[in-house]
Structures are given as C-alpha cells and as structure tokens.
Structure 1
Amino acid sequence: MRLSVIIPTYQHATTLPRALDSAFAQTRQPDEVIVVDDGSTDATVEALAPYRDRIGYLYQDNQGAPVARNRGFKQSTGELVIFWDADVIAEPMMLERLEDALKENPEAAWAYASFWWGRRLFQGRPFSAEALRSQNYIHTTALIRRKDFPGFDESLKRFQDWDLWLTMSEQGKVGIFVNESLYRVLVESDRPSYSRWLPKFVYQLPWRFLGWTPQAIRRYKAAHDVIVHKHRL
C-alpha cells in the first residue's frame, strides 16, 4: 500500500529539516511527503530548499493546523496517511512498526504508539473507546487508513486530535496500540514550556477560588468544554 506523510508547518523553520530528515531515514520509506506551509513568515522556504525535489509543497494563508492537515490529505494519494508534525522526530522504524500493526490487525482504522514530549514520556495504552471519552491518550502522529479518515474539524483551535479519535470511535472504528516509544516531540531547550504544556494537576487547581486564572488555563478549559459539548462527554 502507498503511504503518505503529511507535514503541516507554521513558523517551524528550525525543526522542519530535522522532521524531514527523520521521515526520509525511515526503514519503511514513505511513498510521498507533502509539506503544507500554513502561512509561515520565518525561513521555512529556505529551510525546505534542499528537499524540494523530494517533497510536495503547498502554501496557504494562515488558517490553522486542521485546515492545513485536511488540505494535505486531499492532495495525498496513499492508502495509509500519517500527519507528522513539523516538530516530530521519529525512530527509524516508526512507519514500519505502525504499518505492520495495521497489516496484522485489519479491523483497526489507525495505529499509534507511545512518544516523548521533550524529556517527558507519554506512555500509551491499548485502545479503549470508553477511556478515550475520559481523556485523550493518542497523539496526532498516528498511521491512519485513508478510507476511515473523516477529516479534521476545521473549527477547532485545540484538541483536534482528541476530536478526531472520538469521532472515529463514535463511527465504530478502533485503533491499535504499538507498545513502543517511536517518536519525540521537540520542545524548546528540550523542556516543556509553560505555553505548550502544563502538568495535569495545574489544570485541576480550584482557580475560581484563588481569584485569578492564567490565560493558558482559561483557553484550555474553553477548548475542553467544546469537546465535552460536541461529544456529550
């Protein structure tokens, strides 16, 4: 089966070459790599110059990651697709492991694995639709069967991955877990930053009784409420 790698990018000129090198170093080579530039104003074009004969390149005005991912999907041709963020560095066998999991489990619509966020390990778990309704444990970087992909909700600013897996689960589709840490999400200085990740307990603090709620918490809760309402969690 053909396998397409779709890389949405916005202001990731420093990490994008590493992500591309990682994709091209796979033991299971992708049949196509499509980069969707979501209106970057940094040195993304220059960073892509050495790869232009090996990738498909699409540019759009800044519209957000869901729009960029959907556009890349529409341009892709693979029966299998993976949305590979521009700050993701994979183990060389990642695509091979995920594809093997789908071959061995024809009932599964997507395959996913554990991963590192900077220095923090996010340990995955076997697929459970019920557990998924409580919290997301599947990153966007998963290998999906094209025929089962419903598209990303372009109205969402956050939790697009959780929404995707919930939608597919509600359609009766299941994922298959590969119990290995197969990639790393790069974080500035290789440490989680306040703006991109906060420990779970921080979100659970009784902020309304403390007289002040950080903007990151307010945005998180608002986005979380959208998912809760949409999927009746």
Structure 2
Amino acid sequence: MISVIIPVYNQADKIGRCLDSLLAQTYRDFEIIIVDDGSTDHLDEVLLAYELKLQKAKIPYKIIVQENRGANAARNRGWNESQGDFLLFSDADIFWRADALEKLVNSLMRNPQASYCYSSFRLGRKKFHLWPFDPERLRREPYIHTSALIRRQDFPGFDNAIKRFQDWDLWLTMLEQGKGGLFYDDFLFTVAGGGRISKWLPSFTYKLLPFLPQVKKYQEAATVIKVKHRLPYDPK
C-alpha cells in the first residue's frame, strides 16, 4: 500500500484539486494522510466535504490537526501515522496524473535496488524535465523534489531542524546510507500556479529563476546543507 502524506497550511483553495486527482488514480491500493499544520483558513470545511467523497470511494484516510510546527514536522507526523509500504509526500497544490501512482510503484517493483522513484513535473504550463539519478550531480545540486515514491523501509525521516532545502537534505542523507533513486522519465504531476509557487518550488529551480526574492535566503540555506553533509562550499 502507498501512504500519500499531505502536509497543508492555509491552502484550502488548493487541496481540493489535489484530492480530486488522487480520487481519480488508476492504482487504488493507497491511503491518504492529511496533516493540517495549524491552518487558520477554512481548510476544515473543505476537508469535511471531502471526507464523504473518500468514504464513498473506500479510500482509507486520516485527518490530523496539530499546532503549526513547519513542513518537515508535519511530514514526519504523517509518516508516523501511516501504514503503507511506500510513502509519497504531496503538497496540497500538486495535482497528479491519473496513472502517477501506478507508474511510480511499478517502477520500484521492477527495480528493487532503488529506494525511491521520482519524475519530471509541470509548474503551471511550464515543464521541468529532470535528470536521471546521479550521485555526483546530487552532491553538487539539489535537483530532486520531495514528491518521490519512497520505500518505507529505507526512509530515514525528515530533519525537523532543516527549514529550507528539505528535499536535498533528505536525498543526501539517504545517499550517505547507500540508498539511491530511480528516475521515471515523464511528467507525472503539476504544481498549481499562484502566489505560493516560490514557497513550493524544488530547490534546484532557484538556479533557474534567479529573479525570485527568496533566492538569497536559499543560497544561504544551501550552505547549511553543505556543511551538514560535508560538501564543498564557498564560505564567502
């Protein structure tokens, strides 16, 4: 079974499309774990409406409400509450292609040496085509997003102390443990457009979009990751 874990904070306007895309999946052996990380919008009302849809579709689910503790803490809470052999962390503003879960799980089943499987994605209408798994590239740059399908037995958990580059930190930690990834060469999900885009974007895109005001903060945060994982960095 796949556990789809959705940490969400004040995205009542986005999560419906995410849940609709999961309800439409061709692969049906999954559960949904939603972690409301202290939202102050009308998320509870939206989720109440979707509970009926999930029950009708016979999809197991949990809705967990906690005080705001940040994305990594919410992801870890979802992981601890989940039951699946595979984990998929999906932000609320992602919607999935109908065969996404099927493609990802089949890829891992055919490649037992891989600990996780990731794909390319769209940001609105723009395509972000990623690269095959390469340990050396991964050490140089954060090009793999958080929304990969991960074998539960290989997942070390997120570091709650890391506030940015959570994706890079996770994959580097797994790499240090001898666990690698697998690239599925297709666009399996789309990130919705809107004001929160820059908060979602996978870390590597900040090299491609230097005009974003958060770039400097992310560059500073990258140094934290490099020091933690003993990677070369420029101290200037």
Q: State TM-score, norm by structure 2.
A: 0.88
Aligned residue in 2 for 1:107: 113
Letter of the 1:52 counterpart:
E
Q: Deviations over 1:30-74 (max 9, x none)?
A: 421010000000110011112225321001111100000000000
Unpaired segments ≥5 residues, structure 1: 206-213
Aligned residue in 1 for 2:9: 10
Unpaired segments ≥5 residues, structure 2: 55-60, 232-236
Aligned residue in 2 for 1:152: 158
Within 2, Cα distance between the matches of 1:160 and 1:199? 14
Aligned residue in 2 for 1:65: 71
Within 2, Cα distance between the matches of 1:21 and 1:178? 23
Q: Deviations over 1:142-162 (max 9, x none)?
A: 100000000001011111011
2:187 is aligned with 1:181:
yes
Within 2, Cα distance between the matches of 1:200 and 1:68? 27
Equivalences for residues 27-176 of structure 1 within 5 A: 27-53=26-52, 54=54, 55-176=61-182
Q: State TM-score, norm by structure 1.
A: 0.89
Equivalent pair of 2:206/2:215 in contact (CA under 8 Å): no
Within 2, Cα distance between the matches of 1:196 and 1:160? 11
CA positional deviation for 1:175? 0.6
- Distance change (3 Å), C-alpha of 1:195 and 1:164: closer
Aligned residue in 1 for 2:207: 200
Letter of the 1:77 counterpart:
Q
Q: Deviations over 1:193-223 (max 9, x none)?
A: 66666762664x9xxxxxxxx8623311221
Within 1, Cα distance between the matches of 2:100 and 2:200? 24
* SS across alignment from 2:115: strand
Within 1, Cα distance between the matches of 2:43 and 2:208? 36
Aligned residue in 1 for 2:218: 220
CA positional deviation for 1:183? 0.3
Which segment drifts farther, 36-45 or 131-140?
A: 131-140
CA RMSD of aligned residues (A): 2.0
Letter of the 1:106 counterpart:
P
Equivalent pair of 1:114/1:181 in contact (CA under 8 Å): yes
Within 2, Cα distance between the matches of 1:146 and 1:194? 29
Equivalent pair of 1:34/1:57 in contact (CA under 8 Å): yes
Letter of the 1:200 counterpart:
K
- Distance change (3 Å), C-alpha of 1:151 and 1:10: same
Within 2, Cα distance between the matches of 1:199 and 1:133? 16
**Percent of paired sites with the same residue:** 47
* SS across alignment from 2:186: strand
